[in-house]
């Protein structure tokens, strides 16, 4: 029986725009603004499988292609969320397109070479092209349907995995959304799934921002663009100014402290 997938057809869609940052840093708003341009299609949801232990993990040799495909079918396609709701790619991508793209990915990936099976965590640069083709097969049709030349995606951790994304998409553009950590901390602490205190939120912001900054420094200057305010004070000053974790939780108290000059 012949496989369902067809040979890949060159796409007229250019390499994508990725928006990233820390949680609550304005990535969604920034992506919507970019997607308002008629030449850019806005993907309406975060497509997180393209980073973390997803495709970068496959290329790095940490995740086997078939294990990744199983994860796509079992978790990324449809998964439970809070209050009885669900999330997943099923809200954005037709099932037939999803299945065909995964079958083509597995066929292109093939079995690992013998020398790579002996060292399972060794990088798999041969999987860069199949990974790129998978993402293109899933999302390029959205841009084509909207008569757009490229698409924009907004998962916050795009910035932390930017070097792996650049390996897949050499012509990509990265927009790094940066928001004052005090505002991020108070926003996180107000969420039902956020940290217990704003101080913990500030520490999370600091940790993720440092990882993002280290990744962005690995990129060529033409690949990334900052968005938002970078007027962030020193960690010590941020902790002194952060008062919303102690009593009233007022965001006004946090914003009242002027930021110091960035180092």
Report yes or no on 75 lying in a domain.
yes
d(CA 45, CA 153): 8
Domain coverage including residue 262: 183-224+234-263
247: in domain? yes
How do beta strands 86-87 and 224-228 pair?
unpaired
117 pLDDT more than 80: no
Enter the pTM of the model.
Answer: 0.79
Is 229 a domain residue? no
Average pLDDT for residues 211-238, to the nearest whole number? 67
Tell me: do 128 and 206 sit in the same domain.
Answer: no
Residues 168 and 196 in one domain: no
pLDDT at 112: 66
By residue count, the chain amounts to 263
Q: Are residues 76 and 201 in the same domain?
A: no
Tokens representing 248 are 């009233």
Percent of the chain having pLDDT more than 70?
76
| Residue 170, pLDDT score | 95
Burial class, 208, CB count within 10 angstroms (exposed 0-12 / middle 13-18 / buried 19+):
buried
Q: Give pLDDT, residue 154.
A: 95
């Amino acid at each position: 029986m012949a496989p369902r997938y067809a040979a890949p057809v060159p796409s007229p869609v250019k390499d994508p725009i990725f928006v990233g940052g820390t949680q609550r840093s304005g990535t969604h708003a920034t992506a919507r603004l970019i997607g308002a341009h008629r030449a850019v299609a806005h993907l309406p949801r975060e497509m997180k499988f393209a980073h973390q232990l997803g495709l970068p993990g496959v290329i790095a040799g940490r995740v086997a292609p078939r294990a990744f495909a199983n994860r796509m079918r079992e978790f990324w396609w449809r998964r439970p969320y809070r209050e009885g709701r669900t999330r997943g790619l099923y809200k954005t991508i037709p099932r037939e397109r999803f299945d065909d793209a995964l079958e083509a990915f597995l066929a292109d990936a093939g079995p690992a070479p013998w020398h790579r099976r002996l060292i399972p965590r060794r990088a798999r640069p041969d999987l860069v092209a199949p990974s790129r083709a998978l993402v293109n097969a899933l999302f390029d049709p959205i841009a084509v349907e909207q008569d757009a030349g490229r698409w924009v995606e907004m998962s916050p951790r795009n910035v932390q995995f930017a070097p792996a994304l650049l390996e897949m998409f050499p012509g990509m553009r990265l927009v790094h959304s940066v928001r004052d950590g005090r505002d991020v901390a108070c926003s996180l602490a107000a969420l039902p799934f956020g940290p217990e205190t704003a101080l913990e939120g500030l520490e999370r912001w600091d940790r993720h921002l440092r990882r993002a900054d280290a990744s962005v420094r690995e990129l060529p200057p033409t690949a990334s663009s900052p968005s938002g305010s970078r007027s962030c004070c020193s960690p010590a000053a941020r902790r002194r100014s952060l008062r919303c974790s102690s009593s009233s939780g007022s965001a006004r108290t946090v914003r009242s402290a002027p930021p110091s000059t960035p180092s």
